[in-house]
Amino acid sequence: MNEPAHEPSCAAPAVPAPGTAEGPPYAECVLCRKPTEYAESVKGITLCPVCEWQEAQRTACSG
* Tens-place pLDDT, residues 6-60: 555 555 444 445 566 677 788 999 999 999 999 888 888 899 999 999 999 988 8
Q: Which amino acid is at 4?
A: P
User: Which residues pair with residue 35 across a beta bridge?
Assistant: 28
40-to-25, 53, 57, 58, 59 alpha-carbon distances in Å: 6, 20, 25, 26, 25
Give me the pLDDT at residue 61, please: 73
Q: What is the pLDDT of residue 5?
A: 59
User: Quick one: pLDDT at residue 15?
Assistant: 43
**When comparing pLDDT for 17 and 2, which is higher?**
2
Cα–Cα distance measured from residue 15 to residue 47, given in angstroms and rounded to the nearest whole number: 15
Contact 27, 39 (CB under 8 A): yes
Number of H helices, E strands in the chain: 1, 2
Write down the pLDDT at residue 33: 94
